[in-house]
Copies of this chain bind each other. A is one copy, B any other.
Amino acid sequence: MKSKREKLTLHPDRFFSPDPATRKIARRLYASVKNLPIVSPHGHVNPQLFSTPGYSFGNPTELFIIPDHYLFRMLYSQGIPLESLGIPRVDGGKTQTSPERIWRIFADNFHLFRGTPTGAWFEYELSEVFGIKYRLSGETAAEIYDEIDKKLKSPGFSPRALFEKFKIEVLATTDAATDTLECHKLIKKSAWSGKIIPTFRPDSILDISQKNWRKTIEHLSEVSATDIHDYETFIRAIKVRREYFKSAGATATDIAAQAPYTEELSKNEAEGIFSRALSGKSNPEDCTRFTAFMIMEMARLSIEDGLVMQLHVGVFRNHNAELFGKFGADKGHDIPIPIEFTKNLKPLLNKYGNNRELALIVFTLDETNYSRELAPLAGHYPAMKVGPAWWFHDSINGMERYRRQITETAGLNNTTGFVDDTRAFLSIPARHDLSRRVDANWIAGLAARHIITLHDAEEMIKDTAYRLAKKAYKL
């Protein structure tokens, strides 16, 4: 059975409820937004795709498998070594080098992705981006590999051409605070009109527990042309950099922290911790309190310069010590932890939450936060919105849970639209399509149950598919 060639067809009603009344409305709502441009306000696409003349995605394995931890973690979980998938080792040790063999392993195990968003996105890419007519399996592996490989070498498959084909209105990258944004500059200078904007991500300069933090601060001094020798100059340098990002088109910042713990420090306390950190004498408590304070400081600076502030919390990074040692970060073993917002965010929200100049978008991986804390907080504080279902949860069921647990308390307008958060450029249309379908189906369900009117439904789908993201990210 497994080796039978199965036709690959994306059903036009996919992801919609089988209930005829709901489906009918869902179709209509989806049709009304299907062709709207894609707004991608947060993600990790490499800007080199668009600044490097003749940029190549490589072969199908280099495109789909090696950089995608969503995908190879599933194979790894079933006992397939990362080495045999060609994941590069930190020590340069031997790994599988034949892309065809790696592709074949993936193909042989594609059944593992049944019912997963990874599987749905991949089949969308096969069908809609590459025009493949058969499902991936051991039998079809080689021909599909060849067909993709050929297409990837054709001119229509340059990143810029695809950007236009995908109808992307704006794509935000995520960039270190010390980044000089050379790629973004090159794109701007070029004749090409695609809008690629950076996002200011200060994590590495804020985390004083990192071994190379002092090196990073030296680098920050350099790129900001600011001699950082105390807390005041540190903040001054950050401001310089935020302005630089703004001038390159950035509208937002992004902070990742394990917990959303916030705490106000006095000027003296901040100065004390910073100087201890500079001299390599900070302690773990210093780190915790400094991060907690820096989250608040980023809110303060956002009020000053108008950059939207994103806060991503709730993940224990690099859980598998052995694998981290062998293969480095972002290898599919970042694992969520329980999170509390009500008490943790209180200092920040009490100081800045009533300020309408602040736009704070909060993301979590702990779904218990949705109805318990995030919807009530966003349904009150003018400065705060709830970011969309994130990472493990940007799936069909994940997004449905998000809508059902957030909307009744926070309303749709305290959410921010879809964010694809991906480094896989070719998956962007797949992800937005899935999100638009899931939202169309959810809104159709509300209309079919006469919870909202059809007029409401038509407005809501435009909000979720396009308008909320533009508004929330000031695009």
Contacts and interface: CB of A to CB of B under 8 A. Distances in A.
Interface string A327-368: 000001111111010110010011001101000000001111
B115 A451 contact: yes
Given A115-B452, A378-B77, A451-B396, A342 B319 contact: yes
A161 interface: no
Nearest to A413: B112
Interface stretch (A146-154, A271-279, A287-295, A453-461): A453-461
Interface stretch (A15-23, A90-98, A213-221): A15-23
How many chain copies does the complex carry?
3
A455 B380 CA distance: 44
A393 interface: yes
B21 A336 contact: no
Given A19-B18, A337-B343, A450-B13, A393 B411 contact: no
A372 B366 contact: yes
Given A19-B19, A342-B319, A380-B332, A404 B397 contact: yes
B379 A371 contact: no
Interface in A244-264: none
Q: How large is the interface on A (under 10, 10 to 19, 20 to 34, 35 or more residues)?
A: 35 or more
B354 A459 contact: no
Nearest to A396: B451
A1 interface: yes
A371 B393 contact: yes
Given A77-B414, A350-B320, A396-B408, A373 B115 contact: no
Contacts of A451: 14-15, 115, 120, 396
A342 B323 CA distance: 16
B376 A335 contact: yes
Contacts of A408: 115-117, 392, 395-398
A311 interface: no
A405 interface: yes
A409 B82 CA distance: 19
A378 to B, nearest CB: 7
A204 to B, nearest CB: 23
Contacts of A320: 349-350, 353-354, 380-381
Interface string A45-86: 000000000000000000000000000011011110000000
Interface of A: 1, 4, 6, 11, 13-19, 21-22, 73-74, 76-79, 111-117, 120, 135, 316, 319-323, 332-338, 340, 342-343, 346, 349-350, 353-354, 356, 365-368, 371-373, 375-382, 392-393, 395-398, 401, 404-405, 407-414, 445-446, 448-453, 455-456, 459-460
14 contacts: A15-B449, A15-B450, A18-B449, A74-B411, A77-B378, A77-B379, A111-B456, A112-B411, A115-B456, A337-B342, A338-B338, A375-B392, A396-B449, A396-B451
